[in-house]
């Protein structure tokens, strides 16, 4: 049993209680004492290492029309839901939501830093966490990433693994590719053949290759003003509907913010991509 897989209620407490004292009432009392410790274990260790789906209370993808209750856990997905853009973090409801459509943003989210009033006494601290059931905070962040650290450590720039990671992160469908590449995942990768990707060196002189910046030979040999026909090692193909959903601006319809959407994809893909490999993103 590792530190990431402790059962405080059924294992730790039983070990602490002498055998002749392991009566139902004492075990029940210990269960109450260990519940908070088990929540911390499940949230900050199991959730971090094995992912949101393997917590004692698994997290599900946030649904805008669902009404959540205290203790429910959700993944605030990156593809926007109606007018809301997520971050793929995991949140837990700290109280019953009075109605659906309350995402973990703005005043509904417990702030990362407590105000000075919350540090004055325990009552103020509780008031900060759960201030008012009608207008207060409803969500607290418990994980920055819904994918477990164990799995993320296995990600690599291998095409199949890369495709699996991209589809999991953006909640699209991963499929095993066919031999002729006619079957592929929703988000898939296609290697490219780089054209005219050559390195030109100047003529050897005085025992070494060297072109001064102002040399008339610099242009024909270095070719700073020339363009390569293709300088991308591979292309990430993204379904156009999912790509258009990558819009962090609320209440904006049919915006043409390609740079912002590309950056959302690259913020994840760059962590997996091999050093020195250059790629572009296109839709289909």
What is the tally of structural domains in the chain?
3
Please give the full DSSP string across 184-233, using - where no structure is assigned.
Answer: --SSEEEE---BS-----PPEETTEE---TT-TTHHHHH-TT---SB--S
- Whether residue 228 sits in one domain with residue 166: yes
pLDDT of 1 reads 47
Confidence of residue 258 (pLDDT cuts 50, 70, 90): confident
For residues 233 and 277, what is the distance between their CA atoms, to the nearest angstrom? 6
pLDDT higher than threshold 90 for residue 283 = yes
- Whether residue 67 sits in one domain with residue 41: no
pLDDT of 225 reads 47
pLDDT of 175 reads 95
Confidence of residue 118 (pLDDT cuts 50, 70, 90): confident
Pure H helices in 42-147: 47-50, 122-129
Confidence of residue 10 (pLDDT cuts 50, 70, 90): low
Better-predicted residue by pLDDT, 251 or 75: 75
- Whether residue 120 sits in one domain with residue 133: yes
- Whether residue 145 sits in one domain with residue 160: no
- 137 neighbors 130 (Cβ within 8 angstroms): yes
Question: What does the pLDDT look like over 26-75, one tens digit per residue?
Answer: 777 777 777 777 777 777 777 888 899 888 789 999 988 899 999 999 99
92 is a domain residue: yes
Give the chain's mean pLDDT. Answer: 79
Structural domain of 224? 151-283
pLDDT higher than threshold 90 for residue 89 = yes
- Whether residue 262 sits in one domain with residue 202: yes
Confidence of residue 221 (pLDDT cuts 50, 70, 90): very low
129 is a domain residue: yes
pLDDT of 153 reads 95
Confidence of residue 270 (pLDDT cuts 50, 70, 90): very high
- Whether residue 106 sits in one domain with residue 168: no
Question: What does the pLDDT look like over 148-183, one tens digit per residue?
Answer: 999 999 999 999 999 999 999 999 999 998 888 789
- Whether residue 144 sits in one domain with residue 159: no
For residues 234 and 254, what is the distance between their CA atoms, to the nearest angstrom? 28
3 is a domain residue: no
For residues 266 and 269, what is the distance between their CA atoms, to the nearest angstrom? 5
Q: Average pLDDT for residues 188-213, to the nearest whole number?
A: 61
189 is a domain residue: yes
Torsion over CA: 166, 170, 175, 181 (sign): negative
179 is a domain residue: yes
pLDDT higher than threshold 60 for residue 220 = no
115 is a domain residue: yes
- Whether residue 198 sits in one domain with residue 141: no
- Whether residue 167 sits in one domain with residue 127: no
- Whether residue 164 sits in one domain with residue 99: no
């Amino acid at each position: 049993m590792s530190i990431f897989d402790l059962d405080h209620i059924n294992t730790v407490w039983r070990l602490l209680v002498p055998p002749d004292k392991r009566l139902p009432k004492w075990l029940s009392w210990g269960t109450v004492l260990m519940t908070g410790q088990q929540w911390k274990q499940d949230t900050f260790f199991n959730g971090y290492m094995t992912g949101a789906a393997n917590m004692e209370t698994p997290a599900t993808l946030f649904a805008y029309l669902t009404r959540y209750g205290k203790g429910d856990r959700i993944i605030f997905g990156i593809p926007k839901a109606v007018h809301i853009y997520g971050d793929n973090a995991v949140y837990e409801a700290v109280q019953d939501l009075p109605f659906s459509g309350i995402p973990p943003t703005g005043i509904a989210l417990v702030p990362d830093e407590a105000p000075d009033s919350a540090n004055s006494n325990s009552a103020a601290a509780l008031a900060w966490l759960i201030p008012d059931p009608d207008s207060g905070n409803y969500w607290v962040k418990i994980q920055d990433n819904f994918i477990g650290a164990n799995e993320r450590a296995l990600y690599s720039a291998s095409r199949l693994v890369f495709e699996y990671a991209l589809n999991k992160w953006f909640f699209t469908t991963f499929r095993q590719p066919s031999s002729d590449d006619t079957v592929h995942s929703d988000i898939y990768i296609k290697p490219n053949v780089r054209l005219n990707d050559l390195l030109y060196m100047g003529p050897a002189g005085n025992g070494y290759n060297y072109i001064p910046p102002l040399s008339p030979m610099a242009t024909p040999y270095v070719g700073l003003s020339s363009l390569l026909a293709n300088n991308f090692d591979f292309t990430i193909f993204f379904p156009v509907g999912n790509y258009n959903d990558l819009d962090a601006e609320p209440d904006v319809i049919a915006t043409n913010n390609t740079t912002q959407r590309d950056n959302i994809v690259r913020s994840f893909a760059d962590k997996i991509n091999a050093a020195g490999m250059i790629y572009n993103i296109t839709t289909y």
